[in-house]
Amino acid sequence: MHSCRVNLRMTMFLVILLGAAVVLFYGWYFQLSPCGSAPSNGKVHVLLLSSWRSGSTFMGQAFSQHPSVFYLMEPAWHVWSKLQRSSARELRMAVRDLLRSIFHCDFSVMDAYLPENSIVSSLFAWSQSRALCSPPACPVTPRDQFNNETQCLKKCGTIGLQGAAEACGTYSHVVLKNVRLFELESLYPLWKDPSLDFRIIHLVRDPRAVVRSREEEAANLMMDSAIVLEQRSISAADVQYQVMQEICRSHTRIIERAILKPPPFLKGRYKMVRYEDVARNPLEEITAMYEFVGLEATSQMEEWIYRVTHGEGMGPEDMIDVTSRNATKVSQAWRTLLPHDKVKRIQEVCEGAMSLLGYRMVNSEKEQGSLDIDLLVPQKPYQFNWLPDKTERPSNG
């Protein structure tokens, strides 16, 4: 009997010792392993990072309409609107923290920017989110159908923000669109957060086309332009060029950081996309984006992508209401609508970014108007991305 007690004690001691060893090894492995971090419960967190009038509204809808995605358009607008006497640099940490909270489906962060007891309709362009118009947030649009925005506006706006948070938790992907960040460094904590599987799709567009589109929306962009230009007093004639210079510089900074000197935790978590490539091959490019973030290109989504990129219209490129139009024609519209003297000025302030991104210069009005001359350098050298390994997790950096 005494021998049995000794053996039992020894067995229990060995089991405890083995358990402790496993725990220690697990912690040691996950600290040293480049893939080591706590699981994010399979949820993927995607930032669609772009600049104004670059096709990001359409691109956002390519994610919003997907049945696996909880999408929110421009939550950072609330930060800039509330603190509009600041500069983009001063607001970047507040934007980062807001994005992090929403990626975690925590909408209490909006209390700092919205009136007390706000509802879903207080969120910027809320009805652009199919998820906010679908169960469990609202019963108007079944989760496997495309958004009926008219009905959503009528029936879904009174949901509380807690309802939006609960709906967010039921999706495998959270996608946020943002045009109000100009560097990657402030986002490093999101890559290092072990509870996030954070990825960026960086959407760029030919600056000449961006300026043409911005001219149509100049009045609506005044607040944003002032923040980009750090509230400096600049003549009205120069504002657009100064803003574009800052935007082009930001694209260059982001790409250089992500590609030339990337920190290890960025590997597999960044993809650069040109709007013009999407316009030419929408299904191929959007399918590649889906693959990058782990989404399936369903037949229903493929039909939607074809329909909205092969219409006859030539409407605005980046409308709040995404309608069917000819994407290729839209992407080239600046060549016949923008005066050549403006094109020359844009090329001067954005020369470095245009070279890096693969946009050829035009040297005359005739060359600009000759649509048979392709101004887009083939994309292959500019495919600045790593496709993430299916088992890879961001490291703690």
Q: Is residue 13 part of a domain?
A: no
The model scores a pTM over 0.75: yes
Is residue 264 a part of any domain in this protein? yes
Report the sign of the C-alpha dihedral through residues 175, 181, 184, 185, in that order. negative
352: containing domain:
44-105+169-380
Tokens representing 326 are: 């000819």
**Cβ-proximal residues to 60 (8 Å cutoff; 6+ apart), any chain:** 48, 71, 73, 128, 175, 177
31 domain residue, yes or no: no
Domain for residue 146, yes or no? no
Looking at the domain assignment, is residue 100 inside a domain? yes
Section 17-32 average pLDDT: 39
- The amino acid sitting at 318 is D
Q: Which of 229-233, 299-303, 306-310, 335-339 has the least mean pLDDT? A: 306-310
Number of domains in the chain: 1
Residue 9 is predicted with a pLDDT of 57
Q: Has residue 133 been placed in a domain?
A: no
Euclidean distance between CA atoms 229 and 231, whole angstroms: 6
In this prediction, residue 309 has a pLDDT band, given cuts at 50, 70 and 90, of confident
The model's pLDDT over 150-159, given as tens digits with 9 standing for 90+, comes to 999 999 999 9
Is residue 22 assigned to a domain?
no
- 232: in domain: yes
Q: Among 99-108, 128-137, 204-213, 310-319, which stretch is predicted with the lowest mean pLDDT?
A: 310-319
Q: What's the CATH code of the domain at 265?
A: 3.40.50.300
